[in-house]
């Protein structure tokens, strides 16, 4: 019935806007040697791939199909870097709010140089930056603050004196894109430290409080305008705040 | 059809929201979730859906409860409930202004809010109201005055995949033939609503690149 939707030609051009229920392509692994990967927002059933979210349908050169949608609520995914808030301590674990439907846990041994004798003490309300190693819909998510070589690599407790704010998830993804000049543009005016969690939490620290507010407002621009527009306006916005 | 209007992301603090108007009926829907749910409502293998409907004035009564259950049963059929076990999706609908099409407007508002919140669904859905005048003509999207004079009023909700009926509410008497005619006319009208949805979503995604 969604008759004005044509299955998109994915080989070129701008990404298509899709709605739930739209047929993306027919795919039968028994008939073709082609292997494809499905990312968020797509479902394979009865030999067809359909969309389950609305958003822009994208395809990477490595044949990963996914829907880039504007969402505010975080659903944990394995290997995501997130910013969490310590809720409480329970035995050998801390409970952490990462903005998902359930609190995540982190073992006190999952920090750099932590042992049973030298444990990292964290207080309720502390912020931590970590990586999800367990994230599936049937289990509580679990974080770690070390990589597979036991190094912190920037993860761990965030220092005092910064500010934390929330942005929609697509803004967080946009900010950490390697080819995105936005954060560099801000650094032309202000020296700052930034931590972006894929759960939409952004932490910023600068020398002066006014500058933090300026950076925060610059980033919040992305919620209402496109990247190109925001890149043009960012310096003006920063100037108006400092 | 020309009188459908919608504003997405109307509320800044909810996960998804939409203000939807058909003629002078306006409904505001807000979706929060998938979020935490208290133990007693928790389902191990599917989401807990909670729908609250608030009328323009006064307390929610039996009539509002009926609307809630129609909306809940509709949403349950299209949302991929198994993808969000042990969570809740809270849907709140506020009737802002009523001119007879409260149910259709709130169903459509809920659909847009769910799209805005990026809840995974099988398809979209749209509600269409029609009424039968004593003279025997069928009016799609009638006004309150037209409904008062009519002999029957029916609201149908369709899903977008095959255009199948997923919910219906009817008041008054309709014989089989008239019912089928109403159903078919509403089904045709629903197609316009679906293309309206597509235009709204496309606008939203294109303006932000």
Rounded average pLDDT per 10-residue block, chain B, 209 residues: 88 96 96 93 96 95 95 97 96 96 97 97 96 95 95 96 95 94 96 95 82
Distance CA A52, CA B122 (A): 6
List, as ranges, residues 181-200 from A with C-beta within 8 Å of B: none
Burial category of A62 from C-beta neighbours within 10 Å (exposed 0-12, middle 13-18, buried 19 and up): exposed
A45 → chain B, closest CA residue: B122
Report the SS3 class of residue A191: coil
The pair phi, psi for residue B197, each rounded to 5°, is -55, -45
State the pLDDT at residue A153.
Answer: 92
Here the CATH number for the domain that contains residue B140 is: 3.30.230.70
∠B8-B197-B72 over CA atoms, to 5°?
75
* CB atoms inside a 10 Å sphere around CB A25: 14
Report the first-to-last Cα separation within chain B, whole angstroms.
Answer: 28
Bridge partners of B90, per DSSP, are B32, B50
Q: Is the CB of B195 less than 8 angstroms away from the CB of A4?
A: yes
- Backbone dihedral angles phi then psi of residue A74, each to the nearest 5 degrees: -90, 130
CATH superfamily to which A163-241 belongs: K Homology domain, type 1 (3.30.1370.10)
* Three-state DSSP class for residue B160: coil
DSSP letter assigned to residue A220: H
d(CA B165, CA B168): 8
pLDDT (tens digit, 0 to 9) for every residue of chain A, 242 residues total?
444 566 665 655 578 899 999 999 999 989 988 889 999 999 999 999 999 999 999 998 889 999 999 999 999 999 999 999 999 999 899 999 999 999 999 999 999 999 999 888 899 999 999 999 999 999 999 999 999 999 999 999 999 999 999 999 999 999 999 988 999 999 999 999 999 999 999 999 999 999 999 999 999 999 988 888 999 999 999 999 88
Domain boundaries, given as residue ranges, for chain A? 2-68, 81-157, 163-241
Q: Which of A49, A54, A220 is the best residue to mutate to test the B interface, defined by the most B CB atoms within 10 Å of its own CB?
A: A54
* Whole-number average pLDDT of chain A: 91
CB within 8 Å of B188: residues ≥ 6 apart: none
For domain A2-68, the question of CATH label 2.40.50.100 is answered with yes
The partner residue sitting opposite A1, judged by closest CB among B34, B87, B160, is B160
Q: Tell whether B117 is within 8 A of chain A (Cβ).
A: yes
Bond from prior residue into B34 cis (ω within 30 degrees of 0): yes
pLDDT for the residue A119? 85
**Positive or negative, the Cα torsion across B7, B9, B10, B14?**
positive
Q: What is the CA radius of gyration of chain A?
A: 21
Cβ atoms of B31 and B88 within 8 Å: the answer is: no
Output the pLDDT for position A11: 52
pTM above 0.80, yes or no: yes
What's the confidence (pLDDT) of residue A224?
87
* Spatial distance between the Cα atoms of A205 and B181, rounded to a whole number of angstroms: 65
Q: Which of A159, A231, A238, A226 is nearest to A193 (CA)?
A: A159
Q: Are residues A226 and B208, on separate chains, in Cβ contact within 8 Å?
A: yes
Q: Which fold has domain A81-157?
A: OB fold (Dihydrolipoamide Acetyltransferase, E2P) (2.40.50)
Residue of A nearest to B34 (CA): A101
Say yes or no for a CB contact (<8 Å) between A71 and B117: yes
pLDDT given at position A1: 47
Across the interface, of B121, B194, B201, the residue whose CB is closest to A17 is: B201
- The count of structural domains within chain B is 1
**Which residues form the domain of B99?**
4-208
Identical topology for domains A2-68 and A163-241: no
Cβ neighbours of residue B95 closer than 8 Å, sequence gap 6 or more: B26, B27, B53, B54, B55, B56, B102, B106
Is residue B167 within 8 A of residue B74, CB to CB? The reply is yes
Chain B residues inside the 8 Å CB shell of A171: none
In chain B, pLDDT over 70 holds for what percent of residues?
98
What would you measure as the largest C-alpha separation in chain B, in angstroms? 54
């Amino acid at each position: 019935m969604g008759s004005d939707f044509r299955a998109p030609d994915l080989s070129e051009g701008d990404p298509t806007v899709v709605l739930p229920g739209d047929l993306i392509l027919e795919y039968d692994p028994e008939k073709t040697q082609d292997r494809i990967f499905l990312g968020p927002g797509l479902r394979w059933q009865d030999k067809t791939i359909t969309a389950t979210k609305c958003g822009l349908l994208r395809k990477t050169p490595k044949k990963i199909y996914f829907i880039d949608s504007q969402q505010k609520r975080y659903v944990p995914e394995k290997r995501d870097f997130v910013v969490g808030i310590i809720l409480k301590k329970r035995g050998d674990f801390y409970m952490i709010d990462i903005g998902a439907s359930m609190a995540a846990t982190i073992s006190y041994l999952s920090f750099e140089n932590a042992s049973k004798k030298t444990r990292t003490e964290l207080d309720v309300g502390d912020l931590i930056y970590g990586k999800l190693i367990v994230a599936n819909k049937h289990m509580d998510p679990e974080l770690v603050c070390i990589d597979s070589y036991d190094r912190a690599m920037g993860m761990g407790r965030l220092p005092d004196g910064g500010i934390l704010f929330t942005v929609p998830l697509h803004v967080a993804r946009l900010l950490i894109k390697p080819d995105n000049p936005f954060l560099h543009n801000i650094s032309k005016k202000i020296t700052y430290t930034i931590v972006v969690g894929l759960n939409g939490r952004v932490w910023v620290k600068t020398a002066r409080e006014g500058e933090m507010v300026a950076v925060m407002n610059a980033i919040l621009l992305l919620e209402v305008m496109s990247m190109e527009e925001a890149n043009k306006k960012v310096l003006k916005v920063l100037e108006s705040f400092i | 059809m020309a009188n459908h209007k919608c504003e997405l992301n109307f509320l800044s603090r909810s996960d998804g929201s939409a203000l939807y108007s058909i003629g002078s009926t306006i409904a505001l829907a807000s979706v929060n979730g998938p979020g935490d749910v208290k133990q007693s409502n928790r389902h191990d293998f599917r989401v807990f859906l909670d729908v609250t409907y608030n009328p323009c004035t006064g307390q929610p009564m039996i009539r509002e409860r009926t609307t809630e259950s129609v909306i809940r049963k509709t949403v349950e059929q299209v949302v991929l409930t198994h993808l969000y076990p042990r969570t809740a999706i809270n849907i709140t609908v506020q009737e802002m202004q009523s001119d007879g099409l409260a149910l259709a407007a709130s169903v459509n508002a809920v659909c847009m809010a769910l799209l805005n919140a990026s809840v995974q669904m099988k398809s979209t859905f749209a509600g269409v109201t029609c009424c039968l005048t004593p003279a025997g003509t069928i009016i799609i999207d009638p006004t309150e005055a037209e409904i008062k004079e009519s002999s029957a009023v029916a609201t149908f909700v369709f899903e977008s995949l095959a255009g199948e009926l997923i919910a219906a509410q009817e008041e008054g008497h309709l014989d089989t033939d008239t019912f089928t005619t109403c159903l078919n006319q509403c089904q045709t009208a629903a197609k316009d609503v679906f293309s309206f949805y597509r235009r709204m979503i496309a606008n939203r995604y294109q303006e932000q690149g």
